[in-house]
Every structure is written in C-alpha cells, then in structure tokens.
Amino acid sequence: MTQKRITYFDMAKGLGIILVVLGHIEYISEELRAWISSFHMPLFFIIAGMLICYKDETGQDLKTLFQKKFRGIIVPYFWFSIIYTLIDVLNLLLHKIDLHTFIKNICEAVTFYGSSVLWFLPALFLSEMGFLFFTKKLPRVLSVLIVLALAPLAYLGQLYISSIYTVYESSLLITTLINFVRVFLRAAIAMSFVGIAYYSFFLFKKNETFSWKEL
C-alpha cells in the first residue's frame, strides 16, 4: 500500500519532468509552450506540499528536516553549480563569454539565484523549510493566512524590483543584490503552492470515505 502511494507521487514527478522538457522544445507551438509553462513548475511545488503531508514532516524535528533537505537539495545545487562554473571557465577561455558574464554567473550561483534551471533547487528548499517553520511555530490559522498572503505580496515585490533592475542593469553589485532578493520572493510564491497542496491533501486524508485502494 505504501509503495503504491509513493509510486503515484513518482509518476506525477515524471509527468512534471516531461512537461519541463516539452516546454523547452522550440518546435512545438507557442500556444502549447505557454500552456505548459503556466503550470509545469508549480506542479513540483504542489507535489512537495503533498509529500510533506504524506510524510507527516510537520510533526518531525525542524533541525533534522533542515539537515535532511539541505543534503538532498542544496548539496546537489552546489555540485551542479560547480559543473556550470567549470563550463563557464571553458567558455571564457574559448572567448564564448566575456569576463563580466563569467563573474555574473558566479554571483548568481553563490547567492542561490541559480544558473539556468538551478534556480528551482533553492526555491524548493526555502519554500519547504519556510512552510515547515511557519506551520510548526505559529498557530494553524495564522500560518495558513501568512502562507496564502505571501504569493501576491511576493509577486508585487517581483514587479517592483524588476523595474529597479532595468535601471541598474549595468551595475553588477546592484543586480546581484536584486537577484538575491528574488531568491526569497521566488520561494515565497512557491511556498503558497506548497501550503495549498499540503492543506488540500491534509483535508483529503481526513475524509473517512477515501481509500487508497481506489487509486
């Protein structure tokens, strides 16, 4: 029974990965790519929220969870960032990128903004840990309100700092600081998906008429 439930989560993750690949194929129509892009990344955060509920992580020690998720998410982020940096070193030597771009990419890696698709890993880590922190440290109603309010507030924050970014785009220091703020804004938006999925799954499990055999 347990294995079957995990299998369904794995299938959902697999579907998400396929959608990510399809979303980056140039030969599909713009309409289809836009449709896929509208939900394929939130899908991963929704799955993460369901897994937090399924594993009952809100009842586990926060420090232990931090260490576990750090090893499982952030450590791979560091390794992939090193690989990206080595590729950038090669591109720099081959004059495919300039020094400014090279330094910019390093700054993005160090500040957890992430090179290319690597942004997802810090966003996943921070959104999960943020949700667990609020859920464990605050009354349930208050934690729900905070998690739900973060998404629109973070979105407005993204719009505001994007306007600042365009003004100071030539300044490596300012753009690096802005991107560092964006890391947390991304996580705040993602946290809302995690929270909605967690509480939806929580209520779903409490339904006494539901049986995993139906899956």
The residue ranges of the chain whose pLDDT is under 70 are 1-6, 23-24, 26, 206-215
Q: How high is the pLDDT of residue 3?
A: 44
Q: What angle is formed at CA 107 by the lines to CA 71 and CA 22, rounded to 5 degrees?
A: 70
Query: What is this structure's pTM?
Result: 0.85
**129 within 8 A of 98, measured Cβ to Cβ:** no
The DSSP call for residue 96 is S
Minimal CA–CA distance to 68: which of 55, 50, 81? 55
Reported as a single tens digit per residue, the pLDDT across 26-76 is 677 777 777 777 777 888 899 999 999 988 898 899 999 999 999 999 999
Q: What angle, 0 to 180 degrees and rounded to 10, lies between the N-to-C axes of helices 40-54 and 30-37?
A: 20
Cβ-based burial of 41 (10 A; exposed 0-12, middle 13-18, buried ≥19):
buried
Rounded to whole angstroms, how far apart are CA atoms 135 and 154? 19
Rounded to whole angstroms, how far apart are CA atoms 131 and 195? 7
Q: Is 114 left (phi over 0), alpha (psi -120 to 50) or beta?
A: left
